[in-house]
Structure 1
Amino acid sequence: MNFKNHFEELKRRNVFKAALAYLVVSWVIVQVASIVFPAFKATPGALRTLILVLVIGFPVWLIFAWVYEVTPDGLKKTKAVARNESITGETSKKFNQIILGALIVAIVLLAVNVYGTYTRNGPEVSDTKPDKSENIPAIDSESDQEKSVAVLAFADMSPEKDQEYFSDGISEEILNYLAKNPELSVISRTSSFSFKGKDTDIREIGKKLNANYVLEGSVRKADSTLRITAQLIHVDDGAHLWSETYDRKMDDIFSIQDEIAEAVTKNLEASLLGKEIAEVDTEAYNKYLQAKHLWNQYTQESLENADKLINESIEIDDNYAPAWLMLAIIKDSRRNMNFINRESAAKDIDKAIDKAISLDPEYAEAYAFAGRIALRNINYTKAEINFKKALELAPRNPDVLILVSQLPTLDIKVRIRIVKKAIELDPLEYINYYRLSYLYFLDEQYEKALKTQEKYMLYYPNSMGDYAGKAEILAQLGKEREALEALEKEKDEFLKAYGNAMVTMILYAGEKTDQTIETFKTKYGQQDPYMVAQMYAWQNKKDKAFEWLGKAYKVESVNLVQIMDDPYMKNLKNDRRWEEFVEKIGFPQKSNLEINLD
């Protein structure tokens, strides 16, 4: 039989239509299985097995279609059926119906899938072209989050209800340990702890945090005796996968944390890291937790007491890396609030960070904080080295990502993507919307800056400087009345004066603007000369702008880190003095830091 006759015979026996029908029906079966299997907790291997069976069945089906024919008397070998008795024409029509029906089902399934993806993730947003809406990064699909777990703040069940710092600390230590496991997606502390003290259904918590599992528990502490309960819950059906109660002495606290972490990873079919939770003297650990609790309150008195407690902790046991990092963080907070001498604080901070890293060379948060401090010291090279190390150790840690996003040598759009990724990983840390708004402002995406600023202010309506910042954005959008109304709501005197100068400068010109700038310069110019330089640069008064930039350099203004992306500095960039000044402050070329946000 020549090729043409063979081809015609394949058509006559409906082999081509049989093949098409098989492929279309197989595709529908796979799509239905991908929806149904997870509902019955089938493993990913079940779907792979089904696909493999269908693939193997395809050539078998083709051979079957060639060898056999459907007749009124049942299946017969094609060779045994006379041409005048063959009903292949009717069989062909049936195959057409099967193919058409399967295609309709396939189209419906595809439409449902596309709609579901759109409603979960929203339309895709480009970072390079402004659009009419702001979309915070899409949440990963359930398959990507198969081993996503949220560790809720353990409840304080002590008789006096005075062990909140301890119960928070226990749950946070477990969270931090689990977060180091690359096989788990662990929701950050800020988001997980946002449900503290609230009677919220587990399913709702899982939905808001994009977590498939929740670890919750309680701590009862009396003198040196502990009772810790913990339970791992599957969000979809509320099933308790594991629960345990531990009655131990305080000396066993670290072994309990290890046991809980091991139970969680075992139930989620993930392997534990080789490294155990770091141990420290129990009294030192208790003081460390107290210091951390007080630091979070962020008042002058709480920071002072936190400083005292963390030093006492280190005196008892100086081999615990987190305590040294906590010391650096507390000192930095007190320095930022001008509660302590800045020069002596700087030395203490550097010493504490170095000690933390020497004790734990894989401590990602310590490297990230070292990068932040290097930025404050206008040492961009050192900052990048530390950020790179932190990302290698913890690429999905939102706290690390937020610190890395402050690196001004990164492209501004990359910085925006980093913050959006941090929001995806830590959806209830609303201060990140403020950080995102700031980056949008630097990138002159003012509509997006306004939208994210307003979202932040829903949760932090009375934060210092927020209304002044909003007024500045509104002024850039030409919304005069709204900008002035926002300014009136600003309570901080210094930031209100700065905001007033910027809004006046943006919206108006002439004597009114000059007077406003002169007033700010006289009262606050020495406090931060960089801000005065911004005003003169925007007005294109280059001599005065460079004069005040020189003053900003002398006082090591922290605001110099934004100079390359600062929209107010655009008028200076075509002046020969610009490159000279950039070189003087040691601002390097754009960073080559590789950041994987997948």
Structure 2
Amino acid sequence: MNFNEFFNELKRRNVFKGTISYLVFSWVLLQVISILSPIIEAPVWFGKMILIILIVLLPVWVCISWFFEITTEGIKKSKNVPKEKSISQKTGQKLNTFIIAFLTLAIVLLFVDRFRLRSQQTNKVANVEKISDKTIAVLPFNDMSPNKEQGYFADGLAEELLNSLTKIGELQVTSRTSAFSFKNKAMALSDIAKALQVGYILEGSVRTYDSIIRVNVKLVETKGDTNIWSQSWEKELKNIFKIQNEIAVAVSENLQLRILDNIVPKVKEAKTEAYALFLQARYKHYNTYDRESLIDAEMLINKSIAIDSTYAPALILLGEIYHEKNNYGIINFSDAKRLTKNMARQAIEQDSTYAEAYAFKALLALEYDRNINLASAFVSQALTLEPNNITGLERASEIALLKGNVEKAIDFKKLIIELDPVNESNFYGLANTLNFAKRYKEAEAAILESIRLEPKQEMSYYLYALTLLNQQKYDEALIVIEKEPLEGFKLHLKGVIYHFIRDKEKSDLAIKTLIDQHQKAWSFQIASTYALINKPKEMYFWLDKAKEYNDLGLIELPVEPAFEPYKNETRFIKFIESLDYKY
């Protein structure tokens, strides 16, 4: 058979039309997958897998077109069909119709896809324009002092400025944690702005010498990377609070906000030496996480308060340190309750407009008074003073969760992430709340983002393993829980996982070790372990122990999913009533 005969035979057997119809069908199928994948949340590899299958099957289809033919009696081998009985011409006409129909459909889908992409791009532009309007991040100021010994002072000035700007209702200010996460990182401002989703960035430097402070500040509009304003101050160190207030007002004016002078509250001045000690204590407390550093921070803040006991942020910082000391077991529950409440009371006496003080009182009302209604009232005061106060929003989310409004709690968590988008603890909080809502797939995505931002944080692998456990991915959960640094939570979950995979020996060993080594600190977790493995007698015993030990986890008992099977039992209801929580 020469080439012309072979070519004509290809045409007669509809190999060309069959191949074209296959390609058109494949294109339409891939377009449909492309459009539907985001809707059905198909994994990224799904579309690629279909494409590979289609490519592999193409030569198979060509061979079928050559070797087989459709006849009135069914599909037969082409060599067994006499040419005078072949209906390949009619088959070719049907293939023509098929190709035209699917080409039309492909064109329609192409326009749909382009319209969808254009809509997404429009939405992205709209979102960028939305977040760029009156949004700002205050980056940590650079310490330009000769010996680089003023890092705490530079951080303090930037944070005080951030706090002042937060009081402007029209301005959305990125939280300290996210803004300060870019400290000492060589990144372009445009990249930082994109990560923080802000339209403006305020950056600066601090240089101190003798009793003089020099502050340089620059305001950058990130959309065009344009320096729209800069200014320098050189003042005596005692005027640091006035400098901060001047900068806040100047930034507001340069953002062209229509505000009055009294919208930016005047900051109450503290004595210079006391303020310097406060900054050092806060710097140590926020940047180190161990018992020794906590004691050092307490020593510094006590020195500050001894010099000036009227500065509310210093009083709240000492209250937070007392609260942490209780968590570390350095002081007991009753002492922590007395000391923290005393600090909160003094702070509000000195400054009744300090939102952080009310947010702190909300925490104390939850953990020490077990009074959700009182905590809610304090949160309302905090958010009235500062609608975007991160601590206040955290408490608001906790309260919504404790009152059973999980969706509202999730909304608060998402708002917090908008204000503080690169803080791993915020994604942890969202994941934890989504877990309460039994939205495990979303919870898994959130905790993975938290781990991506900070792989070494405590409890993140516990929560990740818990989301896997709730999806019955037991083998994966066992691998993940081994990475959890907190031994109590690791043993708690291992006991549960081994129970579900029917390894009683390992389950019993994990629970026994948890009880032997951590029963006082993790009594509530022990109770939830027994709840999950359906041992109510042991569960109630350890709930009584948790109450005896004043375990703070008990406040979540009414909404904790582990105890859901027992919530209608008379004994369980009476136990909750005995806690005397005020919802």
Q: TM-score range by the shorter chain?
A: 0.7 to 0.9
Aligned partner (choices 350, 357, 365) of residue 341 of structure 2: 350
Q: How many residues align?
A: 465
1:542 Cα deviation from its structure 2 partner? 2.7
1:302 and 1:516 map into 2 onto residues whose CA distance is 32
1:512 Cα deviation from its structure 2 partner? 5.6
Equivalence map 1:180-195=2 (5 Å): 180-195=167-182
Aligned partner (choices 145, 150, 153) of residue 163 of structure 1: 150
Query: What is the identity, as a one-letter code, of the residue corresponding to 1:114?
Result: S
1:467 Cα deviation from its structure 2 partner? 2.7
Contact kept in structure 2, 1:265 and 1:272, CA below 8 Å: no
Equivalent residue number for residue 445 of structure 2: 451
* Alignment pair present for 1:248 and 2:235: yes
Look up the SS of the partner of 1:227 in the other structure.
Answer: strand
Equivalent residue number for residue 508 of structure 1: 502
Inter-CA distance 516–172: structure 2 relative to 1 (3 Å threshold): closer
1:486 Cα deviation from its structure 2 partner? 1.6
Equivalent residue number for residue 375 of structure 1: 366
Look up the SS of the partner of 1:220 in the other structure.
Answer: strand
Inter-CA distance 511–245: structure 2 relative to 1 (3 Å threshold): closer
1:468 and 1:143 map into 2 onto residues whose CA distance is 36
Contact kept in structure 2, 1:415 and 1:439, CA below 8 Å: yes
1:588 Cα deviation from its structure 2 partner? 4.2
1:361 and 1:572 map into 2 onto residues whose CA distance is 44
Look up the SS of the partner of 2:339 in the other structure.
Answer: helix
* Alignment pair present for 1:175 and 2:162: yes
1:551 and 1:487 map into 2 onto residues whose CA distance is 26
Equivalent residue number for residue 74 of structure 1: none
Q: Deviations over 1:213-246 (max 9, x none)?
A: 1111100012311111111111122222221121
Equivalent residue number for residue 211 of structure 2: 224
Equivalent residue number for residue 292 of structure 1: 282
* Alignment pair present for 1:306 and 2:297: yes
Equivalent residue number for residue 362 of structure 1: 353
1:491 and 1:324 map into 2 onto residues whose CA distance is 32
Aligned partner (choices 223, 235, 251) of residue 264 of structure 1: 251
Bigger CA drift: 555-564 or 399-408?
399-408
1:117 Cα deviation from its structure 2 partner? 4.7
Equivalent residue number for residue 197 of structure 1: 184
Query: What is the identity, as a one-letter code, of the residue corresponding to 1:282?
Result: T
Contact kept in structure 1, 2:521 and 2:551, CA below 8 Å: no
* Alignment pair present for 1:475 and 2:469: yes
Inter-CA distance 176–551: structure 2 relative to 1 (3 Å threshold): same
Contact kept in structure 1, 2:427 and 2:446, CA below 8 Å: yes
2:346 and 2:544 map into 1 onto residues whose CA distance is 35
Equivalent residue number for residue 327 of structure 1: 318
1:376 Cα deviation from its structure 2 partner? 1.2
Listed as ranges, the gaps of 5+ residues in structure 1 are: 1-106, 122-139, 590-598
Contact kept in structure 2, 1:533 and 1:544, CA below 8 Å: yes
Aligned partner (choices 194, 198, 202) of residue 207 of structure 1: 194
1:212 and 1:427 map into 2 onto residues whose CA distance is 14
Q: Deviations over 1:62-110 (max 9, x none)?
A: xxxxxxxxxxxxxxxxxxxxxxxxxxxxxxxxxxxxxxxxxxxxx9998
1:342 and 1:224 map into 2 onto residues whose CA distance is 43
Contact kept in structure 1, 2:465 and 2:480, CA below 8 Å: yes
Q: Deviations over 1:509-536 (max 9, x none)?
A: 7666455434433443344322222233
Query: What is the identity, as a one-letter code, of the residue corresponding to 2:190?
Result: R
Look up the SS of the partner of 1:142 in the other structure.
Answer: helix
Contact kept in structure 1, 2:178 and 2:421, CA below 8 Å: yes
Query: What is the identity, as a one-letter code, of the residue corresponding to 1:174?
Result: L
1:554 Cα deviation from its structure 2 partner? 2.0
1:572 Cα deviation from its structure 2 partner? 0.8
Contact kept in structure 2, 1:471 and 1:503, CA below 8 Å: no
Q: Deviations over 1:255-279 (max 9, x none)?
A: 2112111111111122245121221
Look up the SS of the partner of 1:406 in the other structure.
Answer: helix
Aligned partner (choices 564, 568, 576) of residue 582 of structure 1: 576
Aligned partner (choices 390, 404, 428) of residue 382 of structure 2: 390
Contact kept in structure 1, 2:495 and 2:508, CA below 8 Å: no
Look up the SS of the partner of 2:234 in the other structure.
Answer: strand
Contact kept in structure 1, 2:494 and 2:507, CA below 8 Å: no
Equivalent residue number for residue 78 of structure 1: none
Equivalent residue number for residue 393 of structure 2: 401
Equivalent residue number for residue 530 of structure 1: 524
1:536 and 1:195 map into 2 onto residues whose CA distance is 43
**Structure 1 or 2: larger helix share?**
2
What RMSD over aligned residues (CA atoms) do the two structures have, in Å?
2.4
Contact kept in structure 2, 1:155 and 1:167, CA below 8 Å: yes
Contact kept in structure 1, 2:493 and 2:529, CA below 8 Å: no
2:331 and 2:572 map into 1 onto residues whose CA distance is 35
2:378 and 2:448 map into 1 onto residues whose CA distance is 33
Inter-CA distance 491–540: structure 2 relative to 1 (3 Å threshold): closer
Query: What is the identity, as a one-letter code, of the residue corresponding to 1:476?
Result: N
2:483 and 2:115 map into 1 onto residues whose CA distance is 50
Q: Deviations over 1:285-339 (max 9, x none)?
A: 1111111101112222222121111111111111111111111112212221223
Equivalent residue number for residue 89 of structure 1: none
1:371 Cα deviation from its structure 2 partner? 0.8
Equivalent residue number for residue 119 of structure 2: 114
1:536 and 1:515 map into 2 onto residues whose CA distance is 13
Aligned partner (choices 568, 571, 586) of residue 562 of structure 2: 568
Look up the SS of the partner of 2:129 in the other structure.
Answer: coil
Bigger CA drift: 433-442 or 286-295?
433-442
2:429 and 2:271 map into 1 onto residues whose CA distance is 38
Equivalent residue number for residue 70 of structure 1: none
Query: What is the identity, as a one-letter code, of the residue corresponding to 2:407?
Result: K
Inter-CA distance 503–472: structure 2 relative to 1 (3 Å threshold): farther
Contact kept in structure 2, 1:538 and 1:571, CA below 8 Å: no
Q: Deviations over 1:142-180 (max 9, x none)?
A: 246422111111100000001000001011111100110
Aligned partner (choices 427, 433, 439) of residue 439 of structure 1: 433
Aligned partner (choices 418, 421, 427) of residue 415 of structure 2: 421
1:307 and 1:469 map into 2 onto residues whose CA distance is 31
Aligned partner (choices 526, 536, 541) of residue 535 of structure 2: 541
Listed as ranges, the gaps of 5+ residues in structure 2 are: 1-111
2:500 and 2:442 map into 1 onto residues whose CA distance is 19
2:553 and 2:381 map into 1 onto residues whose CA distance is 25
1:363 Cα deviation from its structure 2 partner? 1.4
Equivalent residue number for residue 276 of structure 1: 266
Look up the SS of the partner of 1:470 in the other structure.
Answer: helix
Contact kept in structure 2, 1:475 and 1:503, CA below 8 Å: yes
Over the matched positions of the two proteins, sequence identity in percent amounts to 34
2:131 and 2:459 map into 1 onto residues whose CA distance is 39
2:564 and 2:116 map into 1 onto residues whose CA distance is 48
Inter-CA distance 345–585: structure 2 relative to 1 (3 Å threshold): closer
Query: What is the identity, as a one-letter code, of the residue corresponding to 2:566?
Result: L
Bigger CA drift: 155-164 or 180-189?
180-189
2:210 and 2:331 map into 1 onto residues whose CA distance is 35
Contact kept in structure 2, 1:412 and 1:565, CA below 8 Å: no
Query: What is the identity, as a one-letter code, of the residue corresponding to 2:376?
Result: E
